Amino acid sequence: MLLVAWVSFLTGLLLFVCAVVCSIFPSAIENKKTGAVPNSGEVLLGGILALMIGVGLAAFVVPERKAAAKAVVDQSSEAALVADAASAVSTSAAQAAPYASFGITPNQFRTEYNRRASSDYELAELKIGRDHGYEGYAGYDGFKQVVGPNVGITGRVNEVDGSLAELIANVAPNESGMTVKYFAVLGAMAAALDPAMSSPENLEKLTGIILRALEQRKEHKVFEHAIGKLRYSASASETTGLWLVINPR
């Protein structure tokens, strides 16, 4: 298409020049046999028409070529970016942990917790598995276990090094309410993750956010507080009880 445009443009330009020459020197394009001279107006009109066709074709073809070239460049750039991203992920996957970590394994947590907990709330052996959560969710490595009457825990495990990354404790609704033994169980879990939580001052702070969550259980408010090396989020409801989420800071 671009070649046709060039041919039409050059033909029109040639006819235009011929028309100008014909008007100045008619003898230059005179037919030697018949003596006839082409009508310069017709030649000029033909040249203008050919020029217009050539310019129109060029105006149609050139942007199309540019768009095609731009698309190729864009595709190449996108492919390069995808390749770079894939390369970055493949080289850094082994180095970057998907979650922050407490710096201990689940079994180390179990050992530290059982040293502090009463016999009826000791943790059995933790079985690590894949929790796929719900459809469309990749899930995570972790564990779930009933600790004792009305108390259960869920733990997330760092998929890179197997360390404990998050701990969620639940105290289910019961007739006795939130008694001292439940506070002791939660305090033992916190101290197993951060020994500084054994201090009365830190335990008082933790007890404070738990009590605030229980007071607001009808509104399901979440209360957060950073204590020592850990961050705590407490919430409660009348149907599911108390939830305490513990994360590293």
Q: How many residues in the chain?
A: 249
pLDDT in tens, 1-48: 555 555 555 565 555 555 555 555 555 555 556 666 555 555 555 556
Structure tokens at 21: 């020459």
Q: Which residues of the chain have pLDDT under 70?
A: 1-99, 131-139
Q: What is the pLDDT of residue 42?
A: 57
Per-residue pLDDT at 222:
94
Closest CA to 126 of 137, 115, 111: 111
Its pTM surpasses 0.75? no
- Tell me how far apart the alpha carbons of residues 90 and 139 are, in angstroms, rounded to a whole number: 20
The whole-angstrom separation of Cα 176 and Cα 159 is: 38
Type of residue found at 200:
P
Q: Where are the domains of the chain?
A: 2-92, 106-248
> Would you state the pLDDT for residue 233?
96
* Predicted local distance difference test score (pLDDT) of residue 129: 85
Q: Which residues pair with 146 in a beta bridge?
A: 152
Q: Do the Cβ atoms of 40 and 100 come closer than 8 Å?
A: no
pLDDT at 22: 53
Kind plus residue range of the DSSP H or E element containing 88? helix 40-92
Distance CA 179, CA 207 (A): 12
